[in-house]
Structure 1
Amino acid sequence: MAGLDNLPGKGRDSGAMRLERTNRINAEHGAKGPFLKPQWSGRSSASGCNCRRAAGRPDIASFPALLLCAVLAGSCSAPPQPAAGRPAAQPEESSQPSSDVRSLLRDTEEQLRILFRTARGDPAYAAARVHARKAGVLVTKYGAAPAALEKARDEINLARSETNLIGIARTAPQIPALREEGYFSENDGSWQPFLCYCPPAARRGEKRPLIVYLHGYSPYLDIVNWTSIPSNLLALTESEQCLMAAPFGRGNTDFQGIGEQDVLRVISETRRRFPVDDDRVFLAGISMGGMGAWTIGCHYPHLFAGLIILAGRGDYYEWHEVDRDSLPSWKQRLIDTDFALRLLQNLEHVPVYCAHGIDDSLVPIREARRIVAAAKEAGVNVKYIEIEGFDHWIFEEVFARDDLRQWMRATSRQWPKSFTYAAFHPRYNQCYWLAHLEVLKNANPARVQVRTEDGRTTIRASGIRSISIDTASLPPGVKPQEIVCEGAQLSPDIPPPPCPTGPVREAFLSPFAFIFEGDPSDSKSAASFKTRCMEWLQYAQSWPTVINRPSEKDLASYNIFLFGEPEHSALIRRVVQNSPMKITDAHFAIGSRTFERKGRGLYAIFPNPWNPRRLAVIQCGEPWGLHAAPNHRYDFLPDFIIYSDYADPDGSNHADLAGFWNENWNVDQ
């Protein structure tokens, strides 16, 4: 959580910053800001509970008593209490409007399901699915408000209108406006939204700069009410004739993990659909989005001309006022992977425009000064501005500044012949004309230093097995025959993708499924499983794929998540069987270390026994993350952890043993 930057007040222009319909729903709820507080109701089938049937087996919903589906779909959450001073929505006098909308939504979703196989890649179909998904959320989460039902009807009508455009060549819209786009995420089978703005020049087919805008944090954020864009950012895109794309980022993920993946996908989809000047892509973020911009910029410097960071943080240790050396090494590695501080050298050729309010009460000015000083020390070109008399909400002020416009006009992507790149995970395996880096699993970090002098290029690598070069994209002055490499092998070809690896959150980055092995009539096991599904919903704003009694084909098709005890799970026993883990009646053991099972839990990731190209995650014993914020529940899960039922100061369960498997999926003694 990087700041409550979407709450009302504090110098915000609330007029043009949200869509008209969101205003109307806010008025219904008596809210002053752009975000609705949810009024939870039961989850109907219309909202898209992603329960899938296993091959050759009946759907979960057809099991006797329908218990599991009822637990998963009908009792999502107890209704939260309204905030102080905010009246709770009153129930409708009649349920007829709600029934009509639900029926209309079911019919629309059924028609969209029929079109899935032939139209899933069509942008109009994706937009239709996003609008239908929003209608489902409005009906089930905000359904007590008449304006929410009206908005749901509007979304259904938009979905139906988009279906009429399926198969028609996509052209830039003729009327300047924010447009809601979408795409299908294979990860959990969900349709993800993003906003796009297309200026007149792009509508004429001219390649234009792209601003990728990362939103801030709000506790009430969902796919209905997240569409709040600073009005002066829209004015900037219009005056500079820029495209703009705003990823949802799965809500409040800090744009890490699956949130980062969403940003990259939105950039890719925008480039596919609109004429983007690839040398003028700017990554901009406010508050939480500013933190995301620091990190994603460090992970993928070759994608961006520059970063625009407003009221953002980039240093976890300064944020939490904790000494890095006081944390165990496995936590340091997880933090260093997802935060910019130890990766700032990657921005050597990516200019940064950074602004912060001197009186910021949510992200103190010391945090901005700290990360900016570290960036400058690492050789980053930073233009840093402190805004006097402003708290956290500086966004309208800064997007209206002329010096920002001048900075953007003078900034384009660099393609250097000398640079440095560091990575803490094999996923970060490309930088500029180094087309592929085969990063070793436990490099801490992997590092490559490229220097070109007098026509000779030297690559010095550590923590990297091989490097592939894209000779077609070499910058002037770099000759393929004059490249030498020290510390890694130069490979003429990009090797096949390696087998996936941990930590646990990596299993969310490709198709995954939560597997239910229990009897749906067993209310205790069903309720526990429902809690695990709710945790993903709270984190990523969508339901996981759920499979009951899976076939071997199902198990081989997904990264699988298994929750429960080995005494009741043949699948967990199978995963543990060929691993360094042992679970007895009384103990958890990893390698030579053994711990009493009572009062402890085990969370681990390992190759999927049914498909080594997939992953298996098991969780046994005490539940994980009960003391962590929903958007930080998965932050401190390495490859394996045996943990207690009490929490560390960061909210994660205290670890008795934790770490990362070696290259052979074993432990180094």
Structure 2
Amino acid sequence: MVRGYISKIDRSVQPYGLVVPPSYSPNAPHRWRLDLWFHGRSETLSEVNFLSDRSRNPGEFTPRDTIVLHLYGRFCNASKFAGEVDLFEATDAVKRQYPIDENRILVRGFSMGGASAWHIGAHYAGLWAAVAPGAGFSETAQYQKLRLTGEGAPPAWEQKLWHLYDATDYAGNLFNTSTVAYNGEIDPQKQAADMMERAMAEVGLRLIRVVGPQTAHRYHPDSKIEIARMLDAIAERGSDPYPRKVKFTTWTLAYNRMKWVTIDALGRHWERTRLDAEITGETSVNVDTQNVTAFTLEMGSGGCPLDPARKPVVIIDGQKVTAPGPMSDRSWTAHFRKSGSQWTMADTVTDAGLHKRHGLQGPIDDAFLDSFLFVSPTGAPQAPGVAKWVAAQEKKAVDEWRRQFRGDAQVRDDTAVTDADMASSNLVLWGDPGSNRVLARIADRLPVKWPSAPTQVPILIYPNPLNPKRYVVLNSGFTFEDYAARSNSLQTPKLPDWAIIDTAEGKIVRAGFFNENWGL
């Protein structure tokens, strides 16, 4: 069957397919296993073609007593950017209609869908009972055989931003779930599992691989049986939402949670960040960190095994910190913050003031993972030399959003923007302080000033000074549009937090990242 939901990002209707087993009954006394299936790449996979296929094709796997959610993923993006948000919006839609067992959700896919499974599986490992990628890719540089230095090498900021989506950089997170990888013996895309096997081995994990004998880019029938046997056994047991030990690696606060561990602040973005936590006794927890300056330990009702009558000691990087004990319902929440080299308890998740936090950490593309509004200029530009470029870029951004993410960007004149818009959406401001009324209100509160050169224009992402809980973006849509048709592995951010563009020469003059306090 086919269903849909209205996306928070652009108010578009996004489709998904659903296979409901014959055994399903809304009156059953149990909750149901859910498998999420990511499709392969197809440049002709319009919404109509997807819906048609989902209406007549049950898919590669139909496990017994299992609901299978076939994700459209906003076309072909390997579940990155808005395609990643689609996963959670579609899953939430299914959960509203069916009683889903949160501890028996599996992620699966093949080819581009295998890349999706590697990415989603490693970044959100704590959510899944199992991860089962088939073929695909798991990183950018090696898969594309890119030069890292010299002529033709991507700029340093772009290479740094590979840490956003490269599954190999998050391989250690698979400690927190079960993983079964597949590839055909003669499939060139076995490279994805080769890379993940190597990355997992570096952190002491051994990857189990099912290999289709003398098989190219497809599932071997015998391999499907073996994969089903393994995944059924894993799903029968389910995942543990509160394991005694959690190992978490990230590079950005965009991915800041694993099981009962949340990282609230980093020493520096785009450097390897690690937090390992273990309950070592009834009153003791051990935490080891790297590049972490604030974190939270949180377990829901019934989840905390600590002694409720005693205050636990949390040993953080060798320092002992006494924390409040669990509540009477066996829930537990404790915040910790680092000042200099000293760890202490904290009353809140983060300090007051402007600093990078989950959902407000950049880069530019992050603004397009939630509700956003293009704000068009209506006034006279103070930089006439770039006005034509700005108009062309806005039109291109609208067109590319439709082409790549199958939605319609919401557009409004600067004179029509309301307080409600600022409260609900990230604002993408086109123009300059002379032509865009909203930009004029905040220009002197942004860290990057308008260039004096008549052909240069700033691009940036920054917490909106008029509502710091939302972003403001200057003169940019998503940043990878020129690479989208070549390979999904090249669909990565191409710009960092800010850049100065010379519109006459069509080149980036300079670019960089803001620091953890959103300063230069």
| TM-score interval for Structure 1 and Structure 2 normalised by the shorter chain | 0.7 to 0.9
Q: Which residue of 2 aligns with 1:254?
A: 78
Partner SS for 1:290: helix
Percentage identity across aligned positions? 23
CA shift, 1:423, in A, is 1.8
**CA deviation string 1:307-327 (max 9, x = no partner):** 111112112221122366776
Distance in 1 (CA, whole Å) between partners of 2:346 and 2:173 is 23
Partner secondary structure for residue 47 of structure 2: coil
Q: Confirm or deny that 1:563 pairs with 2:392.
A: no
Contact 1:232 1:399 in 2 (8 A): no
1:439 maps onto 2:265 in alignment: yes
- More deviation, 286-295/407-416: 407-416
Within 2, Cα distance between the matches of 1:321 and 1:399? 32
Is the partner of 1:581 in helix, strand or coil?
A: coil
| Superposition pairs of residues 168-207 of structure 1, within 5 angstroms | 179-203=1-25, 204-205=27-28, 206-207=30-31
Match of 2:377? 517
Equivalent position SS for 2:24: helix
2:394 pairs with 1:529 = yes
**1:515–1:546 contact (8 Å) kept in structure 2:** yes
Q: Is the counterpart of residue 385 in structure 1 residue 245 in structure 2?
A: no
Please point out which of 367, 371, 379 is paired with 1:507. 367
State the partner residue of 2:461: 605
Question: Does residue 550 in structure 1 map to residue 422 in structure 2?
Answer: no
CA distance in 1 between partners of 2:254 and 2:22 (Å): 37
Q: Deviations over 1:546-598 (max 9, x none)?
A: 11232342552321112234443343344432222122441xxxxxxxxxx64
- Measured after TM superposition, the shift of residue 527 of structure 1 is 5.7
Whether 1:313 aligns to 2:126 is: no
Structure 1 equivalent of residue 517 of structure 2: 664
Q: What corresponds to 1:430 in structure 2?
A: 257
Q: TM-score scaled to structure 1, two decimals?
A: 0.62
1:482–1:553 distance in 2 versus 1, CA, 3 Å: closer
Q: Distance in 2 between matches of 1:569 and 1:200?
A: 57
- The corresponding residue for 1:640 is 498
| Aligned pair partner of 2:111 in 278, 281, 287 | 287
- CA spacing shift, 1:565–1:215, aligned 2, 3 Å: same
1:274 aligns with 2:98: yes
Give TM-score scaled by structure 2 length. Answer: 0.79
Aligned-pair distance for 1:475? Answer: 6.2
In the aligned structure 1, how far is the partner of 2:311 from the partner of 2:233?
34
Question: Are residues 187 and 478 of structure 1, via their aligned partners in 2, closer, same or farther at CA, if it must alter by over 3 Å?
Answer: farther
What is the distance in 2 between the residues matched to 1:267 and 1:657?
40
Task: List runs of 5+ in structure 1 lacking aligned partners.
Answer: 1-178, 587-596, 648-652
Query: For the structure 1 residues 319 and 475, does the alpha-carbon distance in structure 2 shift closer, same or farther, using more than 3 Å as the test?
Result: farther
Q: Which residue of 1 aligns with 2:340?
A: none
- Identify which of 227, 250, 256 aligns with 1:404: 227
> Which sections of structure 2, spanning at least 5 residues, go unmatched?
318-335, 338-344, 352-356
Report the aligned-residue RMSD: 3.5
Write the deviation string for residues 501-535 of structure 1: whole angstroms up to 9, x where unpaired.
31111211222111112389x99676653322102
CA, structure 1 residues 532+328, in 2 after alignment: closer, same or farther (shift >3 Å)?
A: closer
Secondary structure of the residue aligned to 1:531 is helix
Q: Does 1:470 align with 2:299?
A: yes
SS of aligned partner of 1:635: coil
SS in 2 for 1:582: coil
Instruction: Give the whole-Å Cα distance in 1 for the aligned partners of 2:214 and 2:58.
Output: 21
- How much has 1:437 moved relative to structure 2? 2.6
2:74 aligned counterpart, secondary structure:
coil
Instruction: Describe the shift of the 1:208–1:530 C-alpha distance in structure 2 as closer, same or farther (beyond 3 A).
Output: same
Residue aligned with 1:583, SS: coil
> How far is the alpha carbon of 1:457 from its aligned partner?
2.2
Are the structure 2 counterparts of residues 538 and 646 from structure 1 closer, same or farther at C-alpha, using a change threshold of 3 Å? farther
Contact 1:433 / 1:473 at 8 angstroms: preserved in 2? Answer: no
Measure the CA separation in 2 of the matches of 1:449 and 1:583.
43
SS in 2 for 1:636: coil
Kindly name which structure, 1 or 2, has the bigger radius of gyration based on alpha carbons.
Answer: 1
Contact 2:365 2:478 in 1 (8 A): no
Counterpart of 2:265 in structure 1: which amino acid?
V
Alpha-carbon distance between aligned partners in 2 of 1:378 and 1:512, rounded to the nearest angstrom: 39
Q: What is the distance in 2 between the residues matched to 1:409 and 1:383? A: 15
CA distance in 2, matches of 1:338, 1:269: 25
Look up the SS of the partner of 1:410 in the other structure.
Answer: helix
Aligned counterpart for 2:484 among listed residues 611, 617, 629:
629
State the alpha-carbon separation in 2 of the partners of residues 508 and 419 from structure 1: 30
Aligned to 2:316: 486
- Residue 298 of structure 1 aligns to a residue whose secondary structure is helix
Q: What amino acid does structure 2 have at the position aligned with 1:465? A: A
CA-to-partner distance for each residue in 1:290-320, whole Å, 9 max, x for gaps? Answer: 1121121222112101111111211222112
Check the 8 A contact 1:555/1:610 in 2, yes or no: no
Which structure carries more strand by proportion?
A: 2
Distance 1:560 1:181 in 2: 30
Identify if the C-alpha distance between structure 1 residues 613 and 180 changes in structure 2 by more than 3 Å, giving closer, same or farther: same
More helix by share: 1
Q: Which amino acid letter does the alignment assign opposite residue 534 of structure 1?
A: D
The CA deviation string for residues 105-163 of structure 1, in whole angstroms up to 9 with x for no partner, is xxxxxxxxxxxxxxxxxxxxxxxxxxxxxxxxxxxxxxxxxxxxxxxxxxxxxxxxxxx
8 Å CA contact retained: 2:2, 2:15: yes
Aligned to 1:112: none
